[in-house]
Structures are given as structure tokens and as C-alpha cells.
Amino acid sequence: MRNLDIKSAQANLDEMIESCIQEHEHFCINSEYGDVVLMSETDYSDIIETINILSIRGISDHINEAIKTKTDLFSTKSPF
């Protein structure tokens, strides 16, 4: 994540937005009032979805168990 002061962010906002969308880059913009993060709506939605899924009680245990068993449900190899 790149850090920029607010003046630099204002001067380069179009390029930063394009970089967020095209390259999934995130920016931390520093101002006298505090810092803000600029990211694409898609990246933000993905983060919120991940937080929501991981907040379900017991889901991380199920995910870890699935990783341990290494079930090949989506294998391209024929089962025959």
C-alpha cells in the first residue's frame, strides 16, 4: 500500500482510481485529520464478504478441516 499526502492524492486522483480498479492497488492518504484508504469497490466488497464468512461461528474450523483432508472435489482427473 502506497502512502501519499492529500495534496499528492488530489493531483493524481484519476490515476490512483484507475490503478485501484485495474491493478487492485490500495493507497493510504494522509491528512492533518487522519488517514484514509482508497481501494476499489470490488476489493472492499471482497474484504467485507471475507469478514462476514469468517465471523460465522465454527466456519474457520470447517475450512481448516477441508484444507487438511485435501478433498479433490474439483479435480480434472477422471475418477475412473
CATH number at residue 42: 3.40.1620.10
Q: What is the pLDDT, as a whole number, of residue 67?
A: 80
Please name the amino acid found at residue 22. Answer: Q
Show contacts of 38-45: CB within 8 Å, 24+ apart: 38/9
C-alpha cell at 6: 492529500
Helix 59-69 vs helix 41-54: crossing angle, to nearest 10: 90
Q: Is residue 71 part of a domain?
A: no
Count how many domains the chain has.
Answer: 1
Q: What is the pLDDT, as a whole number, of residue 32?
A: 96
Cα–Cα distance, 48 to 50 (Å, whole number): 5
Domain that holds residue 39: 2-56
Q: Smallest Cα–Cα separation from 32: which of 12, 7, 63, 68?
A: 7
Consecutive 10-residue averages of pLDDT for the chain (80 residues): 96 98 98 97 96 89 81 58
